[in-house]
Amino acid sequence: MNHFNAHKMSGAQDKKMEMTYNSLVDLLNRVIRKIIIDTTDANGLILNNDGETLSISLADTDTTGALSYTDWNTFNNKQNHSNELDALSSLADTAGFIKKTGDATYSIDTTNYQPLDDDLSAIAALTGSIGLLKKTAENTWIIDTSTYTTDSNAIAYAIALG
C-alpha cells in the first residue's frame, strides 16, 4: 500500500491531506482488485490469495489461458499467410481440376478428360499418312499403311483356305 510522505508536512491540514490521499489510494486499490476479480474468469487470470498477485494458467481446449512453450512453437510454425492459398481455399467445393488462370487466381475445370498414359502419348506423337493404328510393342504404335481388301468374297475365300 502507498503511504503519504508525512515527513515534509506538519499540522492538522497536512494530516487531513494525508488521510484523503491514503483514502484515495485505498479506493483505487479496491477498484483495481474488483476489476481484476471481475475479469479473471473470462481471461484465465487468477487473483491469488494475497489479493495482490495475478497469475495465469495454461490454456487448453476448454479453458482460456496462456500458451505453453510447445503450444507457442506449434502456433508459430504454421503456414504463413499466402494469397495463393487464400485463392485456392475460396474455390467452390466442386469436383474438377484446379486451373491457375492468373496471379493468385484459380478456377475449377469440370471438363472430363481421358487420363494421360504412355499409349495415348505414343499415339498422339504419330504423324504422317492415313492408315490403321497398329500396336507393335508395349506403348509403341505405328500407322499401318498396308492395303487390305474389303471384298467379302475374297475374305470368305481366304477364310476357307484357312
Gap between the Cα atoms of 60 and 70, Å rounded: 12
Please state the pTM of the whole predicted model. 0.29
Gap between the Cα atoms of 131 and 136, Å rounded: 15
Contact 47, 36 (CB under 8 A): yes
Query: 160 falls in which pLDDT band (50, 70, 90)?
Result: confident
Gap between the Cα atoms of 161 and 159, Å rounded: 5
Q: Say what percent of the chain tops pLDDT 70.
A: 80
Structure-block grid coordinates of residue 158: 481366304
DSSP state of 58: B
What is the pLDDT averaged over residues 27-56? 69
**Sole residue written with cell 494530516:** 15
Per-residue pLDDT at 36: 62
What are the tens digits of pLDDT across the range 120-151? 899 989 987 788 999 999 999 999 988 887 88
Residue 56 pLDDT > 70: yes
Residue 3 pLDDT > 70: no
Residue 37 pLDDT > 70: no
Per-residue pLDDT at 42: 58
Contact 123, 140 (CB under 8 A): no
Per-residue pLDDT at 12: 60
**Distinct helix (H) and strand (E) counts, the chain:** 5, 6
What are the tens digits of pLDDT across the range 78-115? 878 888 888 888 888 888 888 899 998 999 888 877 77
Domain extent listing, the chain: 6-76, 80-113, 118-161
